[in-house]
Amino acid sequence: MKLSNFFIWLIGIGLIVFLSVLVSGFFDDQSILLLDTVVLMICWTFALYIYGGLFVSQEKFASEVPATGVKLYSLWVYCPLAFTCIYVGYAYKIPFKWQLFIQICFLFLFIIGIIVSNASVERLNVVASKSQVRHSSKDNLLAMAQQMKLAASLNKTIDSEVQKEIAKFAERVSYISPSDSPAAMMQEDMLKSCIGHLASLVQSNAPIEQLQKELEDAKTILSQRIKTY
């Protein structure tokens, strides 16, 4: 939380209290004045919370940006309703208990909007986290395949046809669709093991027959992984 936001909030609270003192003579029931003062403070506090991240860290405030639209909509529905209740209550001398009940109802609806927006942010974060894990696994496979392809292309002892097969295999790895299903994760682990073994065979100048056999096994696993979603 920025210190400047806190000082702005304090200044606003001070002005609201000062205004309440100025208009206190117009209220026969001081409890209604106290209620209206608290409502104004709530509106001011929530406005700074939504617009400036009052009472929350900058990291949390930034992470809640996707839900700002819902929060703003809730704020701009709640505040006019609360102000209207204050005006109507004063103009028509509505009893304190009814004004309190109405203000609590408005505040309850506003809090529901905040809860819904926070829940949507949490859901988005979960989805984003899962997506990041899925793409991270695929990126690791791509990096391993490209590294193996480079090592094979630099190894002049490997037959050119085998080099082409390795290059095609490395390109096919990009066809994998990110997935966090148990079957996909198991196949990716097997594929990583095969690619790692292939890379070691390439670097150790293993016999072509052994290299081709391992490459065929890797192709089989890759074909199954491409079909898994």
Give tens-digit pLDDT for 159-170.
Answer: 888 889 999 999
Residue 193 to residues 49, 132, 223: CA-CA distances in angstroms?
Answer: 50, 22, 15
Say which residue, 35 or 28, is predicted with more confidence: 35
Say which residue, 54 or 204, is predicted with more confidence: 204
Q: Is 176 inside a domain boundary?
A: yes
pLDDT, residue 10, reads 93
| Count: domains in the chain | 2
* Domain membership of residue 71 as a residue range: 3-94
pLDDT, residue 86, reads 95
Whether 225 contacts 176, CB under 8 Å: yes
Shared domain check, 221 and 137: yes
Shared domain check, 221 and 139: yes
Identify the domain boundary among 66, 94, 122: 94
Shared domain check, 89 and 141: no
Shared domain check, 14 and 78: yes
Q: Is 218 inside a domain boundary?
A: yes
Q: Is 213 inside a domain boundary?
A: yes
pLDDT, residue 66, reads 60
| CA–CA dist 218, 148 (Å, integer) | 13
Instruction: Average the pLDDT over 178-202 and give the result.
Output: 88
User: pLDDT tens digit string along 71-121?
Assistant: 888 899 999 999 999 999 999 999 999 999 999 999 999 999 888 888 887
Identify the domain boundary among 39, 73, 94: 94
Lowest mean pLDDT among 11-25, 38-52, 132-146, 156-170: 132-146
Identify the domain boundary among 40, 72, 94: 94
pLDDT band for position 61 (50/70/90)?
low
Q: Is 116 inside a domain boundary?
A: no
Lowest mean pLDDT among 49-63, 133-147, 201-215: 49-63
| Torsion angles phi and psi, residue 57, rounded to 5 | -70, 160
Q: Is 117 inside a domain boundary?
A: no
pLDDT band for position 60 (50/70/90)?
low
Half-sphere exposure of 152 (CA within 13 A, CB side): 30
Shared domain check, 86 and 7: yes
Whether 187 contacts 224, CB under 8 Å: yes
pLDDT, residue 20, reads 94
Question: What is the pTM for the complete model shown?
Answer: 0.65
